[in-house]
Amino acid sequence: MAPKSTIPGFVLLDKEAGETSFKALFPLKRVFCTKRVGHAGTLDLRASGLIIAATGRATRLLPYVEAKEKCYSFRLHLGYETDTLEWDGDVLEQDERRETRDERVLDREDVERVLSQFVGDIEQIPPKYCAVKINGVRASDLMERGRNVELKPRKIHIESLELLGEADGADPTCTGKCMAAFDLVCVCSKGTYIRALGRDIGRALGTFGCVSRIRRLRIGHVTLDRAVKGADLTAADLVPVDQVLEFPVVRMGDAELASIRNGNWIPWKAPVENVGPEGRVFAANRDGEVLSLCKYEPGRILADVYLAEDG
């Protein structure tokens, strides 16, 4: 018989604006009585939305989650730019043009006209206030110490960028004079900064831009409506890993799982469908509980990450 085990998994959190991604994990430590927690894809302090966290040995699967595409909604404020590229930062640039009742400086058609420039494979310079490290130190920490930083462009991919509609630009918390505001949705790759995207859209329009209300709606196929607030988290909210990562699941007997647990490979003649280019498959017991992430090769399955923890 295989030993009794505790199966770690994922937790789908709805992070609130104003808390760090690190602090959002505190309820996991309390509910699951473990210090071994982690998350995939840090959200900015002021952003909210979906974080996929993990407990126990499932934390070793987080790089696969982080590589998934993301979907964000955000509000774009046009007419000024701040140091943080957020709506309430210190104003660095201000467009002094004024809109009147009879004449608009920027409208929906203007914004829609430039959005196609940002779809596909593009280069993006991250915000100066970000977690990118320069000689081992975060750029944001250097900026807070009064040192200016210069960040290099990074290649990213934007799958889609949709304008939802015009928003009320008269937000009293805006530190600059906003000539227009729009709500957008962006589907993008790992490494994309929505704040930098707002800056670049503004510049493409011949003005300046910053953003607010960044909210992550989806990671891969996992959507925000499945997430739970940290304050409401219970042990029942643990999600099996195969509900988040869509690797094929191969069911095995006790002897085969014992070999996998010991780091060995096992012969496997049965075909496995829908194996991706990485060749990853989940090994599960007869009850369908996923116990290991493995590497599939024609004719055999090799052990990789064993997930179950001895009870």
The pLDDT tens digits of the residues spanning 192-249 come to 999 999 999 999 999 999 999 999 999 999 999 999 999 999 999 999 999 999 999 9
Q: What average pLDDT does this structure show over 50-65?
A: 96
In terms of DSSP H, where are the helices of 93-212?
Answer: 108-115, 139-144, 194-204
The reported pLDDT for the residue numbered 103 is 63
Of the pLDDT bands very low, low, confident and very high (cuts 50, 70, 90), residue 144 is confident
Q: What average pLDDT does this structure show over 268-275?
A: 92
The reported pLDDT for the residue numbered 222 is 97
Q: pLDDT, tens digit, for every residue of 299-309?
A: 999 999 999 87
Asked if 79 and 177 count as a contact pair (C-beta separation under 8 A), the reply is: yes
Higher pLDDT, 126 or 2: 126
**Which domains are present in the chain?**
5-67+221-236 (3.30.2350.10), 70-217 (3.30.2350.10), 249-310 (2.30.130.10)
Beta partners for residue 11, in sequence order: 53
Which stretches does DSSP call E strand in 172-271? Answer: 180-188, 209-219, 222-223, 249-251, 265-268
Q: pLDDT, tens digit, for every residue of 73-106?
A: 999 999 999 999 999 999 999 999 876 655 678 8
The candidate with the shortest Cα–Cα distance to 292, out of 252, 232, 238, 244, is 252
Place of tokens 């071994």: 36
Name the burial class of residue 174, with classes exposed (0-12), middle (13-18) and buried (19+) by CB atoms within 10 angstroms of its CB. buried
The candidate with the shortest Cα–Cα distance to 270, out of 253, 290, 254, is 253
**Residues whose CB is less than 8 angstroms from the CB of residue 96 and which lie 6 or more positions away in sequence, other chains included:** none
Place of tokens 């704040």: 195
pLDDT at 52 over 70: yes
pLDDT at 68 over 90: yes
Angle (CA) 92 94 95, round 5°: 150
Higher pLDDT, 65 or 129: 65
How many residues make up the chain in this entry? 311
Of the pLDDT bands very low, low, confident and very high (cuts 50, 70, 90), residue 131 is confident
d(CA 155, CA 123): 4
Asked if 301 and 265 count as a contact pair (C-beta separation under 8 A), the reply is: yes
The reported pLDDT for the residue numbered 2 is 37
Asked if 260 and 295 count as a contact pair (C-beta separation under 8 A), the reply is: no
The reported pLDDT for the residue numbered 1 is 34
The reported pLDDT for the residue numbered 272 is 92
Say which amino acid occupies 111. Answer: V
pTM above 0.75, yes or no: yes
The reported pLDDT for the residue numbered 309 is 75
Name the burial class of residue 182, with classes exposed (0-12), middle (13-18) and buried (19+) by CB atoms within 10 angstroms of its CB. buried
Say which amino acid occupies 272. Answer: V
Beta partners for residue 282, in sequence order: 249, 293
d(CA 30, CA 294): 30
Of the pLDDT bands very low, low, confident and very high (cuts 50, 70, 90), residue 5 is very low
The reported pLDDT for the residue numbered 4 is 41
Which residues carry out catalysis? Answer: 44
The reported pLDDT for the residue numbered 6 is 67
d(CA 194, CA 48): 13
The reported pLDDT for the residue numbered 308 is 85
Asked if 279 and 304 count as a contact pair (C-beta separation under 8 A), the reply is: no
Angle (CA) 80 81 84, round 5°: 145
